[in-house]
């Protein structure tokens, strides 16, 4: 699309593209698997586990062709990033974007197959006998194909739309929040909504507060030379760790579920199946531990102190009162770890409070994830607002000639 002056309107184009992508995604979520018993998935109540699945996958009943959701692509992206980070510690040879993409596709396919194998035995079909095995095989292939299709949609939206896979998770969160609000009285919603409002305010402050590290720029010799700084948000990598925590937490659940199929008599596996849940203290501990590890790890991975220190060495710039090189790297490492720990603690406390209140019986299990969903929605909104604002500023520029 173009304006009257011949300049392309990038924001409108990206918004329209994302709208079309989301329409396809929503339609796909409502197409049931082959020979699935749809009536068996007409549930009237939800719990913490159901809401977590909905947030990550987008299909509450897990009975559509897109039942696996964005989970496989999220986990594969995380694993590839970790692989590249560890690889970078031993070699300076960069992995090409094409090879990285092929690795991501391969890992996504493997995770999708693993997840489909674990999920198919739990599905309820409308056929029996010899047709049941055929229906399970076709349903498994549909689930894997759906996961790869979602990955393709995320990739296309990342290139031509707004916010990549984040918009898919945002739609899932909005859908579940809306269904939760409609299914409960205002009296029951009072405490979760109050917690959610407080958590949204906390995340809003964390997203818009930053630590400014004074920097000396050798190329600036005017009145602005003392106003240069390296800005790091108090929430260094945003709400992304919470989103990935939901996906990572489902991974051991799927593994334990799969082991339970092959070793049904093992007491240890049965104990893990029972306690690896957000309604149990052990499951809550594992969930918060995953959030801590991912938040601090992402902070050091995305804002790598070594890379920043190396850039300073190449440009000749430096942090005020610090020598370039090892001293800068060590200082930035401390800053990133502290901010990562602060972010992990704040978000971990926000997640843990409603879960603990659930254990005490103060919050209905069907509402326990509502505050966390509202917190995630605020984080996504901040990121998308910045992206839309940047595109709007770009469109507002006028050509010189």
Chain segment 140-163, per-residue pLDDT in tens: 899 999 999 999 999 999 889 988
pLDDT in tens, 209-253: 888 888 887 766 655 556 678 888 888 888 878 877 877 787 777
Q: Locate 333 and state its tokens.
A: 């490492």
| Pair of tokens at residue 207 | 């997203």
For residue 16, pLDDT over 90 is answered with yes
Do 159 and 201 sit in the same domain of this protein? no
pLDDT averaged over the chain? 82
The number of beta carbons lying within 10 Å of the beta carbon of residue 304 is 17
Residues 164 and 203 in one domain: no
Q: Do residue 154 and residue 221 come from a single domain?
A: no
Look at the chain and count its residues.
Answer: 401
Provide the percentage of residues in the chain whose pLDDT is more than 90: 10
Per-residue confidence band for 41, with pLDDT thresholds at 50, 70 and 90 = low
Q: How many separate domains does the chain show?
A: 2
Q: How far apart are CA 234 and CA 61, in angstroms?
A: 37
pLDDT digits (tens, 9 = 90+) for 160-219: 998 888 888 888 888 878 877 887 888 888 888 999 899 999 999 988 888 888 888 776
**Burial of 171 from C-beta contacts in 10 A (0-12 / 13-18 / 19+):** middle
Q: What is the pTM of this model?
A: 0.78
Q: Where residue 281 sits, what CATH number does that domain have? A: 1.10.3370.10
Q: Among residues 167, 183, 199, which one ends one of the domains?
A: 183
Q: Which of residues 157, 183, 209 is at a domain's end?
A: 183
Residues 20 and 131 in one domain: yes
Boundary of a domain, candidates 121, 151, 183:
183
- Contact indicator for 291, 241 with CB cutoff of 8 Å: yes
Q: Are 58 and 168 in contact (CB under 8 A)?
A: yes
Question: Residues 272, 373: one domain?
Answer: yes
233 beta partners: 210
Nearest C-alpha neighbor of 113 from the set 53, 68, 149, 52: 68
Q: Same domain for 170 and 220? A: no
Q: Tell me the residue range of the domain where 292 lies.
A: 184-401
User: How far apart (Å, rounded) are the C-alpha atoms in residues 9 and 306?
Assistant: 38
Q: Are 325 and 309 in contact (CB under 8 A)?
A: yes
């Amino acid at each position: 699309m173009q304006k009257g002056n011949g300049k392309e309107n990038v924001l409108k184009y990206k918004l329209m593209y994302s709208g079309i992508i989301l329409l396809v995604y929503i339609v796909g979520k409502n197409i049931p698997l082959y020979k699935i018993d749809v009536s068996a998935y007409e549930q009237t109540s939800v719990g913490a586990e159901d809401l977590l699945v909905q947030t990550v996958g987008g299909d509450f009943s897990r009975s559509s062709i897109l039942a696996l959701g964005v989970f496989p692509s999220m986990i594969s992206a995380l694993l590839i990033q970790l692989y590249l980070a560890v690889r970078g510690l031993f070699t300076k040879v960069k992995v090409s974007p094409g090879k990285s993409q092929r690795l991501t596709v391969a890992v996504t396919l493997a995770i999708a197959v693993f997840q489909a194998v674990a999920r198919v035995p739990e599905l309820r079909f409308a056929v029996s006998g010899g047709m049941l095995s055929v229906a399970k095989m076709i349903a498994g292939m549909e689930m894997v194909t759906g996961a790869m299709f979602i990955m393709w949609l995320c990739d296309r939206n990342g290139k031509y739309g707004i916010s990549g896979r984040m918009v898919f998770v945002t739609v899932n969160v909005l859908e579940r929040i809306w269904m939760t609000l409609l299914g409960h009285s205002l009296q029951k919603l009072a405490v979760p909504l109050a917690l959610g409002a407080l958590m949204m305010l906390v995340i809003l402050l964390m997203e818009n507060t930053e630590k400014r590290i004074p920097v000396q720029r050798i190329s600036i010799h005017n009145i602005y030379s003392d106003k240069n700084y390296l800005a790091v948000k108090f929430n260094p990598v945003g709400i992304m760790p919470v989103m990935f925590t939901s996906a990572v937490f489902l991974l051991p659940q799927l593994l334990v579920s799969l082991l339970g199929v092959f070793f049904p008599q093992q007491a240890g596996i049965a104990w893990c199946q029972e306690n690896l849940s957000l309604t149990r203290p052990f499951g809550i501990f594992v969930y918060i531990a995953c959030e801590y590890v991912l938040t601090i790890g992402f902070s050091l991975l995305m804002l790598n102190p070594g890379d920043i220190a190396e850039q300073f060495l190449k440009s000749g710039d430096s942090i005020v009162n610090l020598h370039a090189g090892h001293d800068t790297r060590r200082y930035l490492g401390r800053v990133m770890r502290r901010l990562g720990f602060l972010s992990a603690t704040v978000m971990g406390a926000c997640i843990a409070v409603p879960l603990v209140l659930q254990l005490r019986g103060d919050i209905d299990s069907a509402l326990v994830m509502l505050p966390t969903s509202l917190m995630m929605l605020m984080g996504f909104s901040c990121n998308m607002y910045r992206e839309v604002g940047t595109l709007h500023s770009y469109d507002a520029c006028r050509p010189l000639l």
